[in-house]
Chain A
Amino acid sequence: MALSGLGIYKLLPKTNCKKCGFPTCLAFAMQLAAKKVSLDKCPDVSQETKKALESASQPPIKLITVGSGDEKLEIGNETVLFRHEEKFYHPTGIGFIIEDTSSEEDIKKALGEINKLDFERVGQRINVNIVGISCESKDASKFQVVVKTVLENTKLALALVSDDASFIAKALEASKERVPLLCGATSANYKEMAKLAKDNKVPLVASAPTLEELETLVKNLNTEGVEDIVLDTGKKSIADKLWDLTQIRRLALKKAFRPFGYPVIAFTQNADKFQEAAEASTYVSKYAGIVMLKNRDPWVVLPILTMRQNIYTDPQKPLQVEAKVYEIGKVEDKSPVIVTTNFSLTYYTVEAEVESSKVPTYIVSCDSEGMSVLTAWAAEKFTAESIAKALESFGIKDKVAHKDLIIPGYVSVLSGKLEEASGWKVTVGPREASGIPVFLRNLTK
Chain B
Amino acid sequence: MDLMKECWTGKINTVTLGATEKEGGTRTSQITVGGETALPFLFKEGDIPHAPVIAMEVLDAEPTDWPEVLKKPFGDALKDPVKWAVKCVEEYKARLICVKLIGTHPDFGNKSAADAAKLVKDILQAVKVPLIILGSGDDEKDNTVLAKASEAAKGEKCLIGDATEKNYKTLAASCLADGHNIIGESPIDINIAKQVNILISEMGFPLDRIVVNPTIGALGYGLEYAYSIMERARNAALLGDKMLSMPFICFVGQEAWRAKEAKATSSEHPEWGDESERGPLWEAQTAVAVLQTGGDILVMRHPKAVEEVRKYIDSLMKKG
Contact = CB atoms under 8 A, between A and B. Distances in A.
B73 to A, nearest CB: 15
Contact of B284 (A83, A84, A121, A278): A278
A408 to B, nearest CB: 15
A110 to B, nearest CB: 16
Interface in B27-56: 41-44
Interface in B1-20: 1, 3-4
B293 to A, nearest CB: 8
A275 B308 contact: yes
Contacts of B242: none
A278 B312 contact: yes
A39 interface: no
Interface in A233-268: 236-240, 242-243, 246-247, 250-251, 254-255, 257, 259
A36 interface: no
A353 B222 CA distance: 15
A303 interface: yes
**Top 4 closest A-B pairs, CB basis?**
A299-B273, A240-B320, A299-B278, A298-B273
Given A286-B292, A310-B223, A310-B227, A255 B4 contact: yes
B145 interface: no
Interface string A293-313: 000011110111011011101
Contact of B44 (A84, A243, A309): A243
Given A239-B318, A274-B308, A311-B227, A281 B259 contact: no
B272 A302 contact: yes
Contacts of B44: 243
A157 B36 CA distance: 41
Contacts of A352: 221, 258-260
B276 to A, nearest CB: 9
A116 B281 contact: no
A45 B277 CA distance: 64
Contacts of B277: 273, 297, 299
Interface of B: 1, 3-4, 41-44, 65, 107-108, 217, 219-225, 227-228, 231-232, 235, 258-261, 263, 271-275, 277-278, 280-282, 284-285, 288-289, 292, 304, 308-309, 311-312, 315-320
Greatest chain B CB density within 10 A among A250, A306, A438 is at A306
B4 A251 contact: yes
Given A212-B1, A251-B3, A303-B220, 7 more contacts: A275-B312, A278-B288, A282-B288, A285-B227, A285-B292, A306-B219, A307-B285
A214 to B, nearest CB: 9
16 contacts: A82-B232, A83-B227, A212-B1, A238-B41, A246-B42, A275-B308, A278-B309, A285-B289, A298-B272, A300-B273, A302-B278, A303-B278, A310-B219, A310-B220, A345-B222, A434-B258
Contacts of A298: 271-273
Contact of B289 (A243, A310, A348): A310
A435 B102 CA distance: 13
A123 to B, nearest CB: 13
Contacts of A116: 271
Contacts of B232: 82, 84
Nearest to A239: B320
Given A237-B320, A238-B316, A356-B65, A83 B228 contact: yes
Main secondary structure of the interface of B (DSSP, over half): helix
A303 B219 contact: yes
B260 A297 contact: no
A344 to B, nearest CB: 9
Contact of A303 (B43, B107, B281): B281
A247 B219 contact: no
Interface residues of A, number: 60
A127 B239 CA distance: 38
Contact of B231 (A84, A240, A277): A84
Contacts of B259: 352
A274 B271 CA distance: 18
A55 interface: no
Contacts of B304: 274
For A236, A254, A307, the residue with the greatest tally of chain B CB atoms inside 10 Å of its CB is A307
Nearest to A215: B1
Nearest to B304: A274
Contacts of A246: 42
Contact of B258 (A277, A297, A356, A435): A356
Contact of A313 (B65, B224, B272, B278): B224
A236 B318 CA distance: 12
A285 B232 CA distance: 15
A437 interface: yes
B227 to A, nearest CB: 7
B272 A278 contact: no
A278 B3 contact: no
Contacts of B224: 83, 310-311, 313, 315
A211 interface: yes
A224 interface: no
A121 B259 CA distance: 12
A299 B281 CA distance: 8
Contacts of B220: 121-122, 303, 306, 309-310
B263 A356 contact: yes
Contacts of B231: 82-84
A136 interface: no
A237 B315 contact: yes
Nearest to B309: A278
B253 to A, nearest CB: 14
Interface string A425-445: 000000000110110000000
Contacts of A237: 315, 318, 320
Contact of A299 (B228, B258, B272, B292): B272
A381 B292 CA distance: 35
A102 interface: no
Interface in A65-88: 82-84
A22 to B, nearest CB: 38
A394 B269 CA distance: 29
A239 B316 contact: yes
A255 B2 CA distance: 10
A297 B271 CA distance: 10
Interface in A109-133: 116, 119, 121-122
B308 to A, nearest CB: 4
Contacts of A247: 3-4
A118 B258 CA distance: 23
A437 B65 CA distance: 9
A119 B278 CA distance: 15
